[in-house]
Amino acid sequence: MYKYIIKRLMMLIPVILGISFIVFSIISLTPGDPARIILGNHASEEAVENLRQELGLNEPFIKRYISYVGSSIKGDFGSSYRTGKPVFEDIFGKFPLTLKLALFSMLLATALGIPIGIISAVKRYSIIDGASMIFALLMTSMPSFWIGLMLILIFSIKLDIFPVTGVENIKGYVLPTITLASFSMAIITRMTRSTMLEVIRQDYVRTARAKGASTKRIIFKHCIRNALIPVVTVIGINFGILLGGTVITETVFALPGLGTLLVSAIRMKDMPIVMGAVIFLAIAFSIINLLVDLIYAVIDPRVKAQYSR
């Protein structure tokens, strides 16, 4: 098990290098001069040129990339062009909000999606099954910004239950959490239903029924653990996506999270922030995938035996 974990962590190195090169190339080759953006359109050419020299923007592309990688290995990811603060000081100042939103949303989506999917599979072709599948289809079809605006209109403006913006207290997290959880919950519901239907048709389930086992025992003792592996994969992928994809929800609810910081940095061509945020999210996503693989071993002893070998 430990060798497997170390091997997966070592595989992060080429992944991070590849991601950093792609992002560095895109930011470098897109139109726009960071020095001009920082100083404004009314700054003199001499001032812009001096700033470009100070930031190292006049160096060749490969030299700048190698210099960036070398500094990053030493733990120096640079400072923001816009604020002048170290990169990870800005990132860690915004990340807790995004992490809370992603965590609350995934907990809500999992707590609702898995039971609804199980009930739909057990009561296949019933009214409950049809209603849950229609609801899941609607949630996957509606864009998150529209759901967020409708929630604000109903629960903030009309009913005045939750605040429109801000997260000063727990009530401020309710509407953004529901907005983010809607799509993930629909995906988890459909995946749980699909995998449960496959498991229910297996021979060992029919054997358990023939021996007189109750439906409750069959579902909770024999079916759920075998059906959860694809569901855990979906949960892990969606959680990783939420960490880097909350920008629309953060914009709708005016929340200062990591997504908002990243979009602002891209607009300003703030390369240190963009590079640092993307690398940070790539590492976080890879660690989530590793944790998902380890959860497989907890759910299915056969997977744990493979890791041991």
pLDDT tens across 180-237, in order? 898 889 999 999 888 888 888 878 778 888 878 777 787 877 778 778 888 888 888 8
Is residue 44 a part of any domain in this protein? no
pLDDT of residue 288 exceeding 80, the answer is yes
Tell me how many domains the chain contains.
Answer: 1
Is residue 258 a part of any domain in this protein? yes
Angle between helices 174-200 and 144-151 (to 10 degrees): 130
Instruction: Note the pLDDT of residue 109.
Output: 92
Instruction: State the Cα–Cα distance between residues 11 and 289, nearest whole angstrom.
Output: 12
pLDDT digits (tens, 9 = 90+) for 149-168: 899 899 988 888 888 877 77
Altogether, the residues listed in the chain come to a count of: 309
Is residue 122 a part of any domain in this protein? yes
Q: Dihedral of CA 220/226/227/232: which sign?
A: positive
Is residue 170 a part of any domain in this protein? yes
Q: Dihedral of CA 283/264/273/67: which sign?
A: positive
Instruction: State the Cα–Cα distance between residues 16 and 273, nearest whole angstrom.
Output: 16
Give Rg (Cα) of the chain: 24
Residue whose structure tokens are 């910081």: 261
CB 152 within 8 A of CB 160: no
- Tell me if residue 159 falls in helix, strand or coil: coil
The vertex-245 CA angle with 15 and 191, nearest 5°, equals 90
Instruction: Note the pLDDT of residue 300.
Output: 67
CATH classification at residue 158: 1.10.3720.10
Looking at the DSSP bridge assignments, the partners of residue 86 are 79
The alpha carbon of 121 is separated from its chain's Cα centroid by a whole number of angstroms, namely 28
- Top-ranked range on mean pLDDT: pick from 170-184, 192-206, 281-295: 170-184
Is residue 64 a part of any domain in this protein? no
Is residue 111 a part of any domain in this protein? yes
pLDDT of residue 174 exceeding 80, the answer is yes
pLDDT of residue 252 exceeding 80, the answer is yes
Phi, then psi, of 261 in degrees rounded to 5:
-60, -45
The alpha carbon of 114 is separated from its chain's Cα centroid by a whole number of angstroms, namely 19
Instruction: State the Cα–Cα distance between residues 19 and 278, nearest whole angstrom.
Output: 8
Is residue 67 a part of any domain in this protein? no
Confidence of residue 108 (pLDDT cuts 50, 70, 90): very high
Instruction: State the Cα–Cα distance between residues 224 and 76, nearest whole angstrom.
Output: 47
Domain ranges, residue 252: 95-308
Is residue 72 a part of any domain in this protein? no
